[in-house]
Chain A
């Protein structure tokens, strides 16, 4: 079975995520795009593990899931506080710090 389609899909997902972070305004959506990038990496890891015939990539995918979960905890906490302060989760509204 060829691995190329999976790598192309992973590259596409990563690009969609990377583009989403740049163009979306809502902090939650931006954060979801980052998660999409992490999952694209997971797909690449697992695909390469299949290609090389070793387990390193699959193990990496598990580590990434745990790290992503930890990141969600911290990220949502930060977004929540800023939402409660400003009544908005738009990344454009938080603009006291500039230049």
Chain B
């Protein structure tokens, strides 16, 4: 379309394929309206019903859309490109949507937990009241709570669903912001320890905005190179090598900064420990599981669909980043004394393991009947990691003392004697993170490492296995502290949660066990997801 002959084309939106996404956004908007018009007392239950209902409806929609996905022209994959080329509804998109919705569904329950704080949610009663003032005390006494967290969360989920499904870089940028902006706010809304919560929000916001500016400038340069922001057009331009390669390489480099920041890969990981520690634990759980899935989906789509033809240019960079990320995550976790911070470094290490799979680029054609591609292995890994991580953070919310959650590692000493069940479940999650057989962590690592090995990235796989051993050390250290040391003084108590958190922990532990013992159904689902369409 040139400037002179620009005509207005009526946009065609396939509501029949996009409604899972639209439901989530609609629920978010209705949530805002509820916040404005309903009396305060009713808002909590209304928001909870609305969010859970919306997520379930959207999940049903994903299943229905997935059941009759049309075949795509190259025969190996299914799906269609909708909304004027902006959104790709294909197998991997739907798999990611399903995973995000299931994990969000259990995160909502964690958001809604009220018993642990004595009848109110874990979010600031009145975020506008300055910490330590009369206004804050008054809000606390009146039992005021912010139910805005539910619509904010729904907006974030909508952005997360759009992010890996976007088929052009501009939609991807908008999705990146739609998922990030609500998360920045959610991070600053903790009821207890509001100073570190606000600090986490500030740090996350400034660094996040910085990295998305890099993403945007990269997009502009790629647009200059290819003349379009559509991934398919970029792919054509990349394989025919038109235009200046300096523009392509610089653009790609800047673009990847934004994506790797969201993933939490070194050297763009600096925000992760601070934000994971400062944010309310429910938000951390949601963010750790869901943002990672969305960001890896987008990273994979950009590199496999858009820049697949420039593989030799970006693979060396990814080798270095994968190695660095694993090493930074595993080694720095050794010295942590805060349990949330340790889990943050563990998530960095896991990002490194997943990038190892991305480097393998084991794609559709060279794969035997019983093997899975890198993409499918990574999808499985993300689901496995998501359930374990939400479960682990849910356990963290239970260990408390007078000042709220107690996350210092020394305070966890002797927890195994105090509350054997809770400590046992937490130990199980840690073993899953370490990748011990019979847990989902083992199957996930096995899937990703074998596909990376088959794709020729064996030095990275060797490094990854070594780093897993280093990582296993600090997981086991926590288990030793919990079970084999004596409680110090008046140790923390393990609070009895309501049904909501119990469901979350049970779901996390069950899925971690099931994916470790019988991974086949989910692996089959990932295999059926096929490949990205272009």
Contact = CB atoms under 8 A, between A and B. Distances in A.
Interface of A: 7, 10, 14, 17-18, 21, 27, 30-31, 34, 37-38, 40-41, 44-45, 47-48, 51-57, 59-60, 63-64, 67, 70-71, 74-75, 77-79, 81-82, 84-86, 91, 94-99
A99 to B, nearest CB: 8
Given A54-B3, A60-B170, A74-B184, 19 more contacts: A14-B213, A31-B206, A38-B216, A41-B217, A48-B220, A55-B1, A55-B6, A56-B223, A63-B170, A63-B173, A71-B181, A77-B185, A78-B188, A78-B205, A81-B128, A85-B195, A95-B199, A96-B199, A97-B196
19 contacts: A30-B206, A34-B213, A37-B214, A38-B213, A41-B219, A48-B223, A48-B227, A52-B224, A54-B2, A56-B229, A57-B220, A60-B223, A70-B177, A77-B185, A81-B198, A82-B202, A97-B277, A97-B278, A99-B335
Contacts of A41: 213, 216-217, 219-220
B1 A54 contact: yes
Contacts of A40: 217
Contacts of B201: 78, 81-82
Contacts of A59: 170
Given A31-B206, A38-B213, A85 B131 contact: yes
Contacts of A99: 335
Q: What secondary structure prevails in chain B residues at the interface with A?
A: helix
Q: What secondary structure prevails in chain A residues at the interface with B?
A: helix
A17 B213 CA distance: 10
Interface string B190-218: 00001110111111011001100110110
Contacts of B227: 48, 52, 54, 56
Nearest to A36: B213
Interface residues of B, number: 46
Contacts of B203: 94, 97
A11 to B, nearest CB: 9
Contacts of A54: 1-3, 227-228
B174 A63 contact: yes
A67 to B, nearest CB: 5
A44 B220 contact: yes
B274 interface: yes
A74 B185 CA distance: 7
Contact of B217 (A27, A37, A78, A95): A37
Contacts of B200: 97
Given A27-B202, A71-B177, A74-B181, A84 B220 contact: no
B48 interface: no
Given A17-B213, A56-B229, A78-B188, A94 B199 contact: yes
Given A27-B202, A27-B206, A53-B2, A96 B213 contact: no
Nearest to A44: B220
A44 B221 contact: yes
B506 interface: no
Nearest to B132: A85
B130 interface: yes
B249 interface: no
Contacts of B128: 81
A57 B223 contact: yes
Given A81-B127, A85-B198, A53 B217 contact: no
Contacts of B196: 96-97
Given A14-B217, A53-B3, A82 B198 contact: yes
Contacts of B219: 41, 60
Task: Enumerate the 6 nearest inter-chain pairs by beta-carbon distance, A residue then B residue, closest first.
Answer: A37-B213, A44-B220, A48-B224, A52-B227, A97-B274, A94-B199
Nearest to B182: A74
The listed residue with most A CB atoms (<10 A of its CB), out of B217, B277, B335, is B217
Nearest to B130: A84
Contacts of A51: 224
A78 to B, nearest CB: 5
A91 B202 contact: yes
Nearest to A84: B130
The listed residue with most B CB atoms (<10 A of its CB), out of A18, A67, A77, A81, is A81
A7 to B, nearest CB: 8
Contacts of B185: 74, 77-78
Contacts of A56: 170, 223, 227-229
Contacts of B181: 70-71, 74
A23 B228 CA distance: 34
Given A54-B227, A82-B202, A75 B217 contact: no
Contacts of A37: 210, 213-214, 216-217
A91 B271 CA distance: 14
Interface in B148-176: 170, 173-174
A34 B205 CA distance: 11
B246 to A, nearest CB: 12
Contacts of B173: 63-64, 67
Nearest to A11: B217
A61 B423 CA distance: 52
